[in-house]
Amino acid sequence: MAGNTPRGIRKRLNAAGAPRYQVRYLVRDPTSASGWVETSATFATLREAKAFKAERDNEAALGTRRFDPRLGRITLARIWQQYSASKKPAVSPKTWSGYTQHWQLRIAPHFGHIPVDEISRRNVQQFVDALTVGPWAKVSTLRLLRSVLEVAREDGRIHHNPAHGVSAGRIPERERHRYLTAPQVAALAGACKDQGDVVTILAYTGLRWSELVGLRVGDIDLTTRRLHVRRAAPEVEGRIIIGPPKTRAAKRTVPLPQIVIDALTPRITGRQPDQPAITSPNGSMLRSNNWRRHAHWSQALRTTKLAPLTIHDLRHTYASLARKSGADLRYVQKTMGHSTPTVTANVYSDLYSDELDQVATNLDRLHTTATVNTTITGQEPDKTNQPWSPQTVFMQFREGGPGWDRTSDLPRVKRTLFH
């Protein structure tokens, strides 16, 4: 039944008598004599069929590779193998371990055996909605599935990525970071006894735990007061895997304050450059669980009343201490190994909340200064955008500047400056 359908589209009726629209077109096939073979795609509406045919005609006109629906019969598990081959070498072992868990525990059992061209957006949305995991695990699972399906789309196996536009639900705001003050760091280090130097090093260098474990004696230069982060040793599935840091930006140089030099000196003195700088009491590489036990971490937190606190919170503490010491955003970004200042600003935006209060305080001070100037001198406020500070007001009064009377104006100046 051709009907009034455009050329190249055939209208047919299925077994239930409903219309279907078939688009026939050519794709390359090296096994055929001509190098081309005719294939087809069927749609429920004429509008979809027209849109699909227009895209195929455009491909033919531009000479680009033509979409071949036969390529979509491959299962998602095969695409995962292809994805793994290119992605695994590009990420850290710990990150890849997380990807593997998302795939094996959630994605593979549901989609692994299904041809990629049979996975619809509705299927993906239903899958995400049914996940019984936390919101961040749900988001991570969806992102991985979307990335794997994107490989299939880029290879021409599917026309659209069905995971695009799928929602993982509302993502809750991350909890505010926990920051320790310098006295709290000292108290916690003291409570951890002979392992307290590790607390000091982490809080005053901003190292990740894996970077501390991967640190070698040769990476520390006490003379120039520098520490070089060149590798990391994360614990993945019970094994310590030594490799490059988490990102390119994580390879960095960190300046050492004297308190850290004092902590590192007994750790590295007389040892070979290629040996681990920080080791366990028996001389082996640090493991976080074992270190917590040796440091009596839980008891130390109870003693200092700092619970709850994680080891990674000591890295956040470094950002806070550096900020309080006057370090600008660029410095914090470099020493913490973030890729851009924007990343640092997003992660530690709460460190800038105090600056909002300072702005308000400064505005109040400007207003007060202008009021004092008008009240005491009887003149209009300075219009030069450089209002007098309280110190300037006092100096003008003391030196008996124009418009000032030391006898009559003294009570007003005292009330303004000290109240």
Cα 293 off chain centre by: 30
Model confidence, pTM: 0.65
For residue 172, being part of any structural domain is answered with no
* Containing structural domain, residue 46: 9-67
Judgement on whether residues 229 and 101 belong to the same structural domain of the protein = no
In a domain, 290, yes or no: yes
327's tokens? 């370090």
| Residues 14 and 129 placed together within one structural domain of the fold | no
Q: Give residue-wise pLDDT tens across range 134-150.
A: 998 999 999 999 999 99
**Contact partners, residue 201, CB within 8 Å, separation at least 6:** 207, 212, 260, 263, 264, 278
Nearest of 216, 233, 311 to residue 272 by alpha carbon:
216
Concatenating the DSSP letter of every residue in 5-19 gives PPTTEEEEE-TTS-E
Is the same domain home to 328 and 409? Answer: no
- Token readout for 323 is 């900020």
> Helix, strand, coil proportions of the chain in percent (round to 5)?
55, 10, 35
Q: Which two tokens stand for residue 142?
A: 């969806």
| 176 found inside a domain | no
The amino acid occupying position 384 is T
- Does one domain contain both 263 and 297? yes
Residue 23 lies inside a defined structural domain of this protein: yes
* Separation between Cα atoms, residue 219 and residue 201, nearest integer Å: 14
* 268, 341: one domain: yes
Strands (E) in 100-197, as ranges, are none
Among 67, 85, 117, the domain boundary falls at: 67
d(C-alpha 258, C-alpha 241), whole Å = 31
Please list the residues that pair with 236 across neighbouring strands.
239
Same domain, residue pair 286 and 211: yes
| One domain for residues 142 and 199 | no
d(CA 295, CA 311): 12
Distance CA 330, CA 327 (A): 8
In a domain, 62, yes or no: yes
Question: Does residue 141 form part of some domain?
Answer: yes
Residues 165 and 168: their CA atoms lie apart, in Å, by 10
Looking at the fold, whether 215 and 306 belong to one and the same domain comes out as yes
Report the alpha-carbon distance of residue 295 to residue 390 in Å, rounded. Answer: 51
Alpha-carbon distance values, 381 to 362, 373, 391 (Å): 17, 6, 16
pLDDT at 411: 62
Domain end, chosen from 67, 83, 104, is at: 67
Check residue 231 and give its pLDDT. Answer: 93
Total residues belonging to the chain: 419
Give the DSSP letter of residue 74: S
Residues 300 and 362 both lie in one domain: no
CATH of the domain at 124: 1.10.150
Co-location of 134 and 225 in the same domain = no
User: How does pLDDT run across 175-213, given as a tens digit for each residue?
Assistant: 778 899 999 999 999 999 999 999 999 999 999 999 999
Query: Sign of the C-alpha dihedral, residues 276, 278, 283, 286?
Result: negative
Percent of the chain scored above 90 by pLDDT? 51
For residues 145 and 93, what is the distance between their CA atoms, to the nearest angstrom? 19
Check whether residue 149 and residue 297 sit in a common domain. no
CA distance 387 to 365: 10
Q: Write out the H or E segment, with its range, that includes residue 285.
A: none
pLDDT along the chain (419 residues), means of 10: 72 89 81 78 89 83 64 92 93 90 96 93 95 92 96 87 91 80 96 96 96 96 95 90 88 95 95 94 91 95 94 94 88 91 84 69 79 62 52 57 57 56
pLDDT of residue 2: 47
The 8-class DSSP code of residue 232 comes to B
Q: Determine, yes or no, domain membership for 165.
A: no
82 and 36 assigned to the same domain: no
Q: What is the CATH number of the domain that holds 244?
A: 1.10.443.10
Residue 217 falls inside a structural domain: yes
Domain end (from 67, 85, 100) = 67
Number of domains in the chain: 4
Residue type, 49: A
Residue 378 in contact with residue 387, Cβ under 8 Å?
Answer: no
Position 96, amino acid: W
